[in-house]
Structure 1
Amino acid sequence: MFKKITFGDDFQRFSQWYGKVFYAFILISFCCPCFAQDFQPYLGVSNADNINIRSDSTVMSKAICNVSKGESVEVILEKYEWYKIRLPKNAPAYIRKDLTTPIDAKTVKISKDSVNIRLEPNEGAPIIGKAEMNEIIAVLDTQRQWYKIEPTNNSFGWVYKKFIDKAAEKTMAPVVINNVVVTITKEEPAQDFVIEGVVLPYGKVFNRQATHKLRDREQKIYLLKGDKTSLNAVNYHKVKISAKLTDAPKSKYPILEVKKIEILD
């Protein structure tokens, strides 16, 4: 009539329950951001010469390029003993020609979504970045079915973290962008701002710090610095740009370093 429950039965049930709870805790710890330590991107400086930037966080991965002592890098992520950094403009990068539309001899527009950027001009080369549809890309050279390009803003590599120090902190003067007051320190990477407007030539200005300007819908002016060829290709076009604020206390207008351009018209 009554089932006899022994101490062994209770211990077995407790063990099963404890195992399930422990497994759930481990799973949540890995998957839930609230258990992960937040990493804040920052501006770093190389503390040694000829430091390799690699395509993955291992010494066995291919070297992309190197950085010199004192060179600044934008640290995005930490993974064990490695830092993920944004690739410098001199890093080799290639994209398939059939995934682009020419604008002129030195500029193309991406014609597909999420296009791979590779380290070498072949499909087996490591993927080092992505380009999005309508993004404007500066072409450096042509190699058969591939373009050699400047790395996009969404191109990354890995560097051994013992070779990177934090840059000295320097606070920039507050600037209003998109009706928001922005103050940035050199220790932290400048926030990317997305602004829409019409690109115009800046004209010949003595000792100028920018080559173009952008007029937004409220007729506010921003000065633009970046790849001159790409900016020339979108003169008088409505565009959406992703850019970073630069330190220019004597400038009448905010100066933005252009990271990405998309044509809207």
Structure 2
Amino acid sequence: MIKKTIRTITLTAAMMLTVSAFAPVSKVDAANVSGTVTVTSLNVRSGASTSYSVVGKLSKGEKVEILSSSNGWYKIEYDNNKTGWSCDDYISKNTTTGTVTATSLNVRSGASTSYSIIGKLSKGEKVEILSSNNGWHEIKYSQDSTGWVSADYITTTSDNSLNSVAKTLDVKAYAYTGDGITATGTVPKYGTIAVDPSVIPYGTKVYIKELDKVFTAEDCGGAIKGNTIDIFMPTEKNCNDWGIKNITIEILK
């Protein structure tokens, strides 16, 4: 386990200095992200709640473009440029995964070099691309924030993680943060989970629906035994927001 670990139930004020470098930027709604309907029949409404009128219906397997999100609802484009709102529980985002090709890549608060640097990525790191704009990719940078990186230093492949599930596993999921090195020798980041390697081997890719992100099993810990995982978060606030959850994770092929 990394040397400096802070779990949800043992967070200390001293960690504020450690995590300040990971301070998140305000979340920007995802754009130009495609999605797939996962239920037999899905209502499309004129606004982001069930109090709005139904303006259309979608069938399982139909593709939509996700324009923005609000309080558990997606604004979507469907059926030849029509727009409306549908509950995000029933639309699976078809994400694009990118791989960093530069030795060190700046993550910025906006789509140009005039914006401030909010973090760095290393060669070979995987990122989830949310949208693209003028040679820049918007990426998921932490649980509740985004950042921008130059598209020149990212190679991309389509990755609908829900289509590559080997099995599911019910687990108790904690959250931790800190600095140091993981059990496998990597630097922990948002995308790292600690596991019991006898249950989930190191290197396994795990999709967590609640965070809509693929994680890699890279760490372990004395308290992580059996069907238990520990999700690395960039900040103390992220840990507190997550708490402790009983969830079902998807082990990817």
The TM tier, using the shorter chain, reads: 0.3 to 0.5
Higher strand share: 2
User: What TM-score do you get using the length of structure 2 for normalisation?
Assistant: 0.35
Greater fraction helix: 1
